[in-house]
Amino acid sequence: MSAPPEPTVRRVSVGDVRLTVRALGEGEPVLLLHGFPELWYSWRHQLPALADAGYQAVAPDLRGYGDSDRPDAVERYALPDLAADVEGLIAALGHEDAHLVGHDWGGSLCWALAARRPERVRSLTILNSPHPVASAEARQVPEQQRRSWYMLLFQFAGVAEAWLSADDFANLRRFAFDTAAPGTFTAADQEVFLAPLRRDGALTAALNYYRANIPPASWLRSPPDLPPITVPTMIVWGEDDAYTSGVLLERSMAKCEGPLRVEPLPGVSHWVQQEVPHRVNELLISHLGGLER
């Protein structure tokens, strides 16, 4: 049996930064956006499945991650800039719009772009990532406050980096990889994610997503305002997520005024597309295939 094709790798200018992008297949573009503490590699199971289904699957390392540009200033990781990177990537690929698929922080970027620039978003697929307004609202709910403890820890520059990276990233491994079903992340998979974080400034860049967008004062003020989501949306939600409660799903659904499909996955953790890749691929291809131009 021949090995599956390898994605092409290129550097793409999306405005004030350049992103390193993997792409596979031809057809309508499907952008796959990862979260913390990940890379394009989070979508290793989805890239060939989407290409085989007739799409161009595109998985960037987001700003600050992997081989993409890594600005120093915290404010360069604010959500408007991150969403603008996605819009810039769509244009750089030669398209007016694209299907967006996002997990964790990648989902936040998808929500934001779909709310502010719906003409750029052909469809939206969200995997265990609350709508930014829903997330802010839920930080006032005790159950979600308990699950979001790490967001405050991550505000402490230097302290968070030391805690996560000590003893060969032992705490980061427990925080992330050990919350998935056994076997989801092999030792080799973990090293793919950890190797870029060993570079100078890389872990700080990843943590700047939290520092720029969820500073401690944001827990005390009113949630931000975003227009409702009107594009066709599917939310895939692993119900055994250590860090998100059901209230986040409920409140995220309430932000959608367009066609909405919700697919709960009982017993599945936060790392849905890597833990149950075949099921996620089925749902994703079904969702995309049901849309009409």
CATH code of 8-289, in short, is: 3.40.50.1820
Q: What is the pLDDT of residues 217-246, one digit of tens each?
A: 988 887 778 999 999 999 999 999 999 989
Q: Which pLDDT score, from 0 to 100, does residue 225 have? A: 86
User: How big is the CA angle at 281 (ends 91 and 276), to the nearest 5 degrees?
Assistant: 125
Can you give the pTM of this predicted structure? 0.97
Bridge-partner residues for 103, per DSSP?
Answer: 127
Q: What is the pLDDT of residues 178-213, one digit of tens each?
A: 999 999 999 999 999 999 999 999 999 999 999 999
Instruction: Give the catalytic positions in this structure.
Output: 104, 210, 270
Whether residue 140 has pLDDT greater than 90: no
Q: How confident is the model at residue 2 (pLDDT cuts 50, 70, 90)?
A: low
Q: Are 211 and 239 in contact (CB under 8 A)?
A: no
Give the three-class secondary structure for 9. Answer: strand
Q: Are 30 and 50 in contact (CB under 8 A)?
A: yes
The pLDDT > 90 percentage for the chain reads: 89
